[in-house]
Amino acid sequence: MRKTVSFTKDATNLFFHILTACNLSCRHCYINPPQHGSNTLPIETIEEWLALFASRSKKSNIIFLGGEPTMHPELARAVKKARALGYASITIDTNGYLFHDILEKVTPEEVDALSFSLDGATAETNDPIRGVGSWEMCVAGIKQSVAKGFSTSLIYTVSGANLHELDQMPDLLERLGVNHFFIQVLGIRGNSAKEEAEEDGLMRVTRDNWVEAVPKVAEEAARRGIKVTWPKVFLDEGEAFECAGHVADNLFLFPNGRVYRCPLCEDFPVHAMTIEEGALKAAPRINETDLFELAIAEGCVMNRIIQPGNIVYKENGTPAWRVACCLLKEEITP
């Protein structure tokens, strides 16, 4: 399997949102235009920023995102520029509609992975979350990707609206020829942070449900020859907490030039860095980097601030469990 995004210690990943526009309106979309911008970056700016981050590290994995990145008419040119600059791996995250004939404009030698977002084993579960017809289009896109020889992965964001179909995914993945399965936890940001999301059943699953369901599905998918990556979310008793802000280099770049290091911070103007006049500069304090330094009993400080509902406390006031960093993940390789 070709190298792609790595959620491990010492990993360097650039998540480059080249636009925020999308053809879908997913109920859990994290894009927040007031904080991220609503512009589509011109290709000249994309190439400049690619060069800027390539000079920071030649070992970076780059992931092109949106919105829907294939809606950008110059995505193929951006991919070729990233390859020429020597990025360690190149991934395109897509909802499967594959605009601008992108599969005809890039090759498996240029793109290390095409990663598709699907949130149900059936259209009946996926489409109420992602949009009518999106399951069919995504599955069709996966089939095209596999047929053309691309390394193909799938992202499934687990919530109360689709947990019941998670155990059906290994069979679907095997039939489609997907070789890497990312199980994602629902982040309370963007659309999912709105009150109506929980009222509609789009909520994070409980610790017991997560621990009961996710590892089993991961093991079953791996048994079928599929690599699986997922966040642990809840640490075992006595297990040490580690923050990716200390041990890895994950950068989330948006069209307005903001650069975040933690996705949980993206609804707020606490970004660590910004691009100004062609240079990457530290943002004024206090920002997310300062928050990473806080050591608390609950584990992830950003989770405690933004998603406190994940934490249960004992009668003595101590947390019943610690929450892991969402950017350091478990992995099973067949």
Query: What are the strands of the beta sheet with 258-260, ordered from one edge?
Result: 279-282, 273-276, 258-260, 249-253, 12-17, 61-65, 89-94, 113-117, 152-158, 180-185, 227-231, 329-332
* Residue 106 tokens, joined: 């890039």
pLDDT at residue number 190: 87
pLDDT at position 75 is: 98
Residue with token string 């995914």: 169
d(CA 96, CA 263): 23
Please report the pLDDT score of residue 197 as a whole number. Answer: 56
pTM, to two decimals: 0.94
Query: CATH code for 12-239+327-332?
Result: 3.20.20.70
| Burial annotation 221-246 (CB, 10 A radius, 16+ → b, else e) | bbeeebbbbbbbbbbeeeeebbbbbe
pLDDT of 10 reads 74
Positions of the chain with pLDDT lower than 50, given as ranges: none
Q: Which residues are 231's β-sheet partners? A: 329
Measured between alpha carbons, how far is residue 104 from residues 39, 72, 74, 98, 173 in Å? 26, 15, 13, 10, 24
What is the identity of the amino acid at 315? E
CA distance 135 to 169: 13
| Domain positions in the chain | 12-239+327-332
Tokens, residue 15: 């998540």
Residues 15 and 251 sit within 8 Å (Cβ to Cβ): yes
β-pair partners for 63 = 15, 91
Dump pLDDT digits (tens) for 95-147.
Answer: 999 999 999 999 999 999 999 999 999 999 999 999 999 999 999 999 999 99
